[in-house]
Chain A
Amino acid sequence: MSIRVATLRGLYLDSVFLMRVADRITRAPGVRRAAAVMGTPANRRSLEAAGLFDASVAAAGPDDLVIVIDAETEEAAEAARTRLDEWIAPATSPSLAARSLDDALRILPNANVALISVPGEHAAAEARAALDRGLHAFVFSSGVTVADEVALKRDAHERGLLVMGPDCGTAIVGGLGLGFANAVRRGPIGVVGGAGTGIQELTTLIHRAGSGVSHAIGTGGRDLSDAVGGITTFDALDALAVDPATKVIVVVSKPPGDATLARLIDHARGLRTPVVLCALGASVPQGTGYARAATLDEAVSHALALTGGPAEIPDPGAPLDRARAEASRLDPRRRYVRGLFAGGTLAYQAQVVLRDAGLVVRSNAPLDPSLRLDISERSGGHAVLDLGAEELVRGRPHPMIDPRPRHERIVAEVSDPGTAVLLLDVVIGHAAMADPALELTRAIEDGRRAAGAHVAIVASVTGTDDDPQDRSRQVEILEQAGVVVLATAAQAASFAARICRAHAPVGAAA
């Protein structure tokens, strides 16, 4: 084994680009492992823990790019190191045209939205600069303080601008997907949501049912908290309510604050456009002037019915005998559902569905604080993990881009003698990884080899056949690997619960 370290002073590259650099180096002859990271204290600690370290790593600062190569021989390490320029070359391509925001506006004077994905501590300043120049802000970054979020949104509201985010995964404006978004048909259904993968699941189900989306406006996960008070949600609702293309509006979120939920209901009632409220995990009171939905599937059904279009969610769930067949192959000691999700909203919805099926599920993003599971713990009973949670993606690419964190956990969960069902989401679309199904099947194979016993594997694929990854192709890859693929994420969670119930009566399994 031979370690080579190269430190490039003052060269900043984003974490997604660096993940790809490390990937390319790892494929070079004789290279065992490679890392390419900015020299922040946290990254230096991770390198040390991984044994990818020498004195020059310790001397690097947060503005320095550190590349560490671990090769089988001195020669291989040196050969890889001498190709550094080649590894990082695409970063200096002419597509990175502008040196500053003002420079960008000289190149593209009609720009009207800034798509911000810088590290969280810098995101508020960039959003402020965008608003000052009359641009709407789509803030993918998480890690912005609530105080900054409130200040930015109030200011934007005064100026007639939208702040989508922070922690906004998805928007579709005028047919253009921002962040992680899917290729969906345009049509009569508008979406406002503080739930990125929730918007993706909704918009793709609408498309697959034959209808379409006018606009989908992301708000960020905290917008409907009482601290923020729904500033972006209300502005987005008002905009869609007078948009001639929008005939019905779906609002999707995790549980809103009590006061903000009451205001949201009042506001929805006052609009002439019908509104469907889907606050996952919250108890929205029954009332007139709006429709309620407990799951994303239900929200889509209501919206389709309200637009007078086809009222069908694609194919029904896999039949009960398929669940029984899966259950009959399981060792009796394997009793638990283990959900590993890239999509935060889908992880949340899975917990709602499993809870309603009678299972007690712990999570790092739990429905109830008493059900918290730290990501470093073993899962124990039923568990659903959101691998894209804010604390897990600080300075790292999202699991919709980087398959490695989920790969490790899949192997661990399948090997765990308590796991009966592994429940997965696959989310495709613009900006997501090129072939997530293939990545998952590799992890599943590694897990099965380590476990040496049957585990039922259940998944859903959020996307459309028009996405770059092609949903049908992704489904085919998973099914060839023995994965049961359901039509929707809610159906997949429900099917996982069915396998558990067929295998062990509820109560015994909880």
Chain B
Amino acid sequence: MNERIVALLAAPAVVAIGASHFADGVRDQGAPVVQVEWRPPRETDDAVRRALEKLL
């Protein structure tokens, strides 16, 4: 089996991005989890990112 899937199935460790109650669910089961304080990107950020992507 591919080793990245083996690692996931052997010892899952989670980064939660979005609704915090899913991270709570992981924590309640005793598994490692970090919650990212996510917020929607601003439209101007999107425009800048697209412009940068074109340049790079």
Q: Which residues of A contact B (CB under 8 A)?
A: 12, 14-17, 62-63, 91, 95-101, 103-105, 107-108, 110-119, 122, 125-126, 130, 134-136, 140-141, 159-162, 173-174, 176-179, 181, 215, 235, 238-239, 242-243, 401, 430-431, 468
A16 to B19 alpha-carbon distance, docked (Å): 7
B42 beta carbon closer than 8 Å to chain A: yes
CB pair A178–B17 under 8 Å, yes or no, is no
Q: Mark B27-42, 1 if CB is under 8 A from A, else 0.
A: 1110111111111111
Does the CB pair A122–B41 fall under 8 Å? yes
CB < 8 Å neighbour of B9 from A17, A135, A159, A215 = A215
B17/A134 in contact, CB under 8 A = no
B18 and A108 form a contact (CB under 8 A): no
Contacts of A104 in B (CB 8 A): 15, 34-36
**Once bound together, how far apart are the Cα atoms of A374 and B22, in whole Å?**
30
- Complex CA distance for A149 and B33, rounded to whole angstroms: 25
Find chain A residues with CB under 8 A from B42 CB: 63
A173 touches B18 (CB 8 A): no
Check A117–B19 contact: CB distance below 8 A. yes
**Once bound together, how far apart are the Cα atoms of A5 and B22, in whole Å?**
29
CB atoms of A99 and B37 under 8 A apart:
yes
Contact in complex: A159, B4 (CB < 8 Å): yes
CB-CB under 8 A from A95, the residues of chain B are 20, 23, 27, 35
Bound Cα distance from A62 to B37, whole angstroms: 17
Known A104-B34, A108-B34; judge A177-B25 contact (CB<8 A): yes
- Identity of the chain A residue whose Cβ is nearest the Cβ of B30 in the assembled complex: A176
Please give, as numbers and ranges, the residues of chain B lying within 8 Å of A126 by CB-CB distance: 17-18, 38
Instruction: Report the nearest B residue to A125, measured CB to CB.
Output: B41
Min CB distance B44 to A, Å, is 11
Query: Which B residues are in CB contact (< 8 Å) with A130?
Result: 15, 17
Chain B: number of interface residues, binned into ranges: 35 or more
Are A179 and B22 interface neighbours, CB within 8 A?
A: yes
Please state if B17 and A243 are interface contacts (CB–CB under 8 Å).
no
By the criterion CB–CB under 8 Å, are A178 and B26 in contact? yes
**With A110-B32, A118-B38: A135-B15 Cβ-Cβ less than 8 Å:** yes
B19 A430 Cβ-Cβ under 8 A: no
- The reply to whether A111 and B14 contact each other, CB–CB distance below 8 Å, is yes
The contact of A122 among B10, B16, B40, by CB within 8 Å, is B40
- Return the contact of B39 from the options A12, A15, A141, A431 (Cβ within 8 A): A12
Can you list 23 A-B pairs with a CB-CB distance of less than 8 A? Answer: A12-B39, A95-B20, A96-B35, A98-B35, A103-B36, A104-B36, A105-B15, A108-B15, A111-B15, A113-B15, A115-B17, A115-B33, A116-B18, A122-B41, A126-B38, A130-B17, A140-B18, A162-B8, A173-B9, A173-B12, A176-B31, A178-B26, A431-B22
A324 to nearest B CB, angstroms? 42
Query: CB of B54 within 8 A of chain A?
Result: no
Question: Measured between C-beta atoms, what is the minimum distance from A96 to chain B in Å?
Answer: 5
Q: Residue B56 at the A interface, CB < 8 A?
A: no
Chain A residue, CB-CB nearest to B46? A125
B28: chain A residues at CB < 8 Å are 430, 468
Residues in B with CB closer than 8 Å to A96 are 20, 35, 37
Known: A62-B40, A101-B17, A126-B17. A160 touches B22 (CB 8 A): no
Residues in chain B near residue A17, CB distance under 8 A = 19-21
Residue of A nearest to B3 (CB): A160
B25 / chain A contacts, CB cutoff of 8 Å: 177, 179, 181, 430-431
Output the nearest chain A residue to B28 by Cβ-Cβ distance.
A430
Chain A nearest CB: distance from B39 CB in Å? Answer: 4
- With A95-B20, A173-B8: A100-B34 Cβ-Cβ less than 8 Å: no
CB distance from A115 to the nearest CB of B (A): 5
Nearest first, the 5 A-B pairs at minimum CB distance are A117-B18, A430-B25, A12-B39, A160-B2, A431-B25
- B26 touching A401 by the CB < 8 A rule? no
Instruction: Tell me if A101 and B5 are in contact (CB < 8 A).
Output: no
**Bound: A115/B14 CA distance, A:** 7
Least CB distance, A94 to chain B, in whole angstroms: 10
| Residue of A111, A235, A238 with highest tally of chain B CB at under 10 A | A111
Whole-angstrom CA separation of A343 from B7 in the bound complex: 30
